[in-house]
Amino acid sequence: VIVTLTTDFGLSDFYVAQMKGALFQQCPQVTLVDGTHDVPPQDVAAGAIAVERAVAGFGPGTVHVAVLDPGVGTDRRLLAVEVGGQVVLLPDNGLVTWAWWRIGNAVAHELSWRPQRGASDTFHGRDILAPAAGLLAGGTPLVALCGPRVESPVLLDLAPAEAGATVGRVIHIDRYDNAMTNVSRDVLASLGSAAHIGIGRHTLGPVRRTYADVPVGHPVALVGSSELLEIAVRNGSVSATLGVRVGDEVRLT
Amino acid sequence: VIVTLTTDFGLSDFYVAQMKGALFQQCPQVTLVDGTHDVPPQDVAAGAIAVERAVAGFGPGTVHVAVLDPGVGTDRRLLAVEVGGQVVLLPDNGLVTWAWWRIGNAVAHELSWRPQRGASDTFHGRDILAPAAGLLAGGTPLVALCGPRVESPVLLDLAPAEAGATVGRVIHIDRYDNAMTNVSRDVLASLGSAAHIGIGRHTLGPVRRTYADVPVGHPVALVGSSELLEIAVRNGSVSATLGVRVGDEVRLT
Amino acid sequence: VIVTLTTDFGLSDFYVAQMKGALFQQCPQVTLVDGTHDVPPQDVAAGAIAVERAVAGFGPGTVHVAVLDPGVGTDRRLLAVEVGGQVVLLPDNGLVTWAWWRIGNAVAHELSWRPQRGASDTFHGRDILAPAAGLLAGGTPLVALCGPRVESPVLLDLAPAEAGATVGRVIHIDRYDNAMTNVSRDVLASLGSAAHIGIGRHTLGPVRRTYADVPVGHPVALVGSSELLEIAVRNGSVSATLGVRVGDEVRLT
């Protein structure tokens, strides 16, 4: 069984390795895959996008653990969410938002399992979520770890644009300085092929097929690998060239 | 068998992958786990803490390789240290210090095994330590790789505070900008529950249970996930807000 | 079967995990190893060196995937290159250069396999190269994925210095701020033991055995772990102390 880990722990400390140790001690046969550990510290919205990308990238039966947990030690709940034939374990702080809306048909349960020897008050990722994932990977049924169904998990103000929308939003800027938006390929299709894209003072024209459809240094709108509208500058930078920031509005006209 | 790797190689070069290649060529069935590779270059004290965290996070039978090795090519020894039912392979330059004191009951041997085809003079991690770990993972007994017992390995000036101590020290500042000290939960307990914590000009009051026991932006003293006294600023930064640095004194009164 | 991944994706996004998901969905039994993902974005020459180091570090039968792909979506080819008993899958943009020259006896084929459900126009690493590697790892013969042999893959201006050369070049500066050159141990040997090394205004004297053969803070020329001439400053920095940059000329006299 594959277990992925998505956190804001960074890679310069030993916290990721400690989670892995807890997982292996529970289930030595697990196959661990790092999602990303470089989500900006406590940026739950950025983490929510990474969680959805992890679920979308793997197949049925995968278990995902996500830890961005500024509320550790408070009474915030932990969740086990079934989505896309996979299970995601995470705090109930909005981290599930993007997978909840974008993949859909999710069912959330309270993760009520706790280790017999107790958990720390500061590191539930290592002490609860990782061993719970190890139990799932080892064959324990989800129901044995869960309390009641959670009808309304905490959700952030981060939702996909709806069909017919004329405005979208930048939700992530990646390492190449390309901007991912909340506008799906389907929403773009609902606007017809004449749709033109704009952001700030800039007009980008129609949605292109790939970066190379514009000259080097020019801005381009296309459907990126996440099946979302993406704004890029070919071999360049949307933040430097266009001044784009996460949260900026994108016009679909 | 699990083998963990802790180094100061960083992740932008190819050195970590080369160590892994050497390990897999010796033992294809090994399960590799990265500790951290982002220990500041040649900061042996920081590496020593990461090594202890790796040992503490895994179970009996795990093999750990640690490489911070500014003395490679000199006559510094290599060690195989048995501690906590696990084996740590590392240079004898103080990198074992924190595991030696904090976990205790360690036994060090000189790692005398050398590859038949010789080793480079600049990368013993790849040429000696990694294949030696592969041999251990493949079932070779430790004694077959080792020379005499080393009674006095090199130890840094980095030791846990002792019971009754009224002063401790900051030994690590993590990605969240929380400060880990050398004061264990047991030492705190020896002071009684009336103990108050201070650092620099700041008085932090008693030891709390979790970050959320103080308002956002306030400093807090608590026992962190390493079972050590930790100084934090809730959702903030000890270095920016309190001016805390590694090596700073912590008062226990 | 081991599959290594070398990219310029960085670790703060979710692209590496998505490639791994595609690989595992094709071949659940694969052993994945990260080369490096921190090649500077779209720096194909730097990536070419990382690719060679991956091949050199692993044994026969290993499959390597390398993705630095500024031309994705154009008509640039994909290649499957047999070299050193291993297979490397990568775009035909010069990324194979250093392995081609340094390891030698390489045979390149066009990688013509495409997924039945189609590939995105922006992420061939995930949609073509990773599943193709999964197929190879699962036992599909290379010939089943390939079109015609490619006699002349794209090669960068990045070649090893030849025997008798009196000038070399800095091709990489690593995390320790040591400079790797394109001058092999064999080329150095062809000059005899009286060869002296120079760079910029600096004369470094003969080639030493290890860093510790000069005092701390002094420059040193030695054969590094890649079997190439390396310029270093003992426990220091070639860029700060000597002003060395990638591309600088090295004198062998």
pLDDT (0 to 100) of residue C105: 97
Does the pLDDT of residue B158 top 90, yes or no?
yes
Beta bridge partners of A222: A208, A230
Does the pLDDT of residue A194 top 90, yes or no?
no
pLDDT confidence bin for B194, thresholds 50/70/90: confident
Check A210 against C126: CB less than 8 A apart: no
User: What are the tokens at B82?
Assistant: 């048995």
Q: Which of B160, B210, B215, B212 is nearest to B188 (CA)?
A: B160
Percent of chain A with pLDDT over 70: 100
- Which helix or strand (DSSP H or E) is residue B55 part of? helix B44-57
Strand A146-150 relative to strand A107-111: parallel, antiparallel, unpaired?
antiparallel
Q: Which residues of C sit within 8 Å Cβ distance of B?
A: 2, 4, 11, 31, 33-39, 49-50, 53-54, 56-59, 174-176, 209-213, 222, 224-225, 230, 235
pLDDT (0 to 100) of residue C194: 82
Check C35 against B15: CB less than 8 A apart: no
pLDDT (0 to 100) of residue A23: 98
d(CA B14, CA B50): 21
Q: What number is the average pLDDT over the span A164-190?
A: 96
pLDDT (0 to 100) of residue C61: 97
Q: What value does the mean pLDDT of chain B take? A: 96
Residue A212: which of C32, C42, C73 has the nearest Cβ?
Answer: C73
Interface test with C, best of B7, B14, B18, B127 (most C CBs within 10 A): B14
Chains that touch A (3 or more CB pairs under 8 A): B, C
Q: What number is the average pLDDT over the span B118-134?
A: 96
Query: What residue has token string 């390489």?
Result: C106
Does the pLDDT of residue B88 top 90, yes or no?
yes
pLDDT digits over B10-64, tens only?
Answer: 999 999 999 999 999 999 999 999 999 999 999 999 999 999 999 999 999 999 9
Percent of chain B with pLDDT over 90: 95
Chains A, B: CB contacts within 8 A come to 89
Segments of chain C with pLDDT less than 50: none
Q: Which amino acid is at A193?
A: S
- Minimal CA separation from C29 to chain A, in Å: 9
- In contact, C102 and C50? CB cutoff 8 Å: no
Residue B122: which of C31, C54, C211 has the nearest Cβ?
Answer: C211
pLDDT confidence bin for B160, thresholds 50/70/90: very high
Give the total residue count for chain C.
Answer: 253
d(CA A136, CA C25): 19
Residue C225: which of B21, B41, B126 has the nearest Cβ?
Answer: B126
Residues of B in contact with C213 (CB under 8 A): 73
Does the pLDDT of residue B192 top 90, yes or no?
no
pLDDT (0 to 100) of residue C193: 80
pLDDT (0 to 100) of residue B156: 98
pLDDT (0 to 100) of residue C192: 85
d(CA A75, CA A43): 20
Q: What number is the average pLDDT over the span A1-6?
A: 98
pTM: 0.96
pLDDT digits over A94-142, tens only?
Answer: 999 999 999 999 999 999 999 999 999 999 999 999 999 999 999 999 9
Beta bridge partners of B167: B251
Neighbour tally for B242: CB within 10 Å: 21
Residues of C in contact with A68 (CB under 8 A): none
Check A57 against C20: CB less than 8 A apart: yes
Percent of chain C with pLDDT over 70: 100
pLDDT digits over B216-248, tens only?
Answer: 999 999 999 999 999 999 999 999 999 999 999
- Minimal CA separation from C119 to chain A, in Å: 9
pLDDT digits over C82-130, tens only?
Answer: 999 999 999 999 999 999 999 999 999 999 999 999 999 999 999 999 9
Q: Which of B241, B232, B171, B243 is nearest to B204 (CA)?
A: B232
d(CA B93, CA B97): 9
pLDDT (0 to 100) of residue B92: 98
Check A36 against C71: CB less than 8 A apart: no
Q: Which residues of A sit within 8 Å Cβ distance of C?
A: 2, 4, 11, 31, 33-39, 49-50, 53-54, 56-59, 174-176, 209-213, 222, 224-225, 230, 235
Check A212 against C122: CB less than 8 A apart: no
- In contact, B178 and A15? CB cutoff 8 Å: no
pLDDT confidence bin for B193, thresholds 50/70/90: confident
